[in-house]
Amino acid sequence: MKAVIAKSFERIHRSNLVGMGIIPLCFKPGEDAETLGLTGHECYSIDLPSNVSEIRPGQDVTVVTDNGKSFTCTLRFDTEVMMETQPCFSPQNIISFIS
């Protein structure tokens, strides 16, 4: 799975990421890579629901680094349509991206 974690996204950038099959995630307010002590060299695990139909726009997900740090991000699929119109995020196809 590919994802980008940022403080915020312009709508066009977020849409472009989704169109390329990349999951846009935002840090929670007041958090960023610096406040969380992230260097960018970590490997990240993103705790998405195992049932793809349970993924909802704007929901919070837990991110865990390979060195044990854990933090919450917001999933920036801002509409159901954003997910449904992208073939890679349809329930039939997202599993191949996660696997």
Range of the domain at 23: 3-98
The residue count for the chain: 99
16-71 confidence digits (pLDDT tens): 888 888 888 999 999 999 999 999 899 999 988 777 678 888 899 999 999 999 99
Query: How far, in Å, CA of 26 to CA of 19, rounded?
Result: 17
β partners of residue 73: 27, 61
Query: How far, in Å, CA of 40 to CA of 49, rounded?
Result: 24
The token pair that represents 11 in the structure block = 């709508």
Residue 6 phi, psi dihedral angles, 5° rounding: -145, 170
In the structure, what pLDDT confidence band is assigned to residue 99 with cuts at 50, 70 and 90? very low
Q: What's the number of domains the chain is made of?
A: 1
What's the confidence (pLDDT) of residue 20? 81
For residue 7, the domain's CATH number is 3.20.19.10
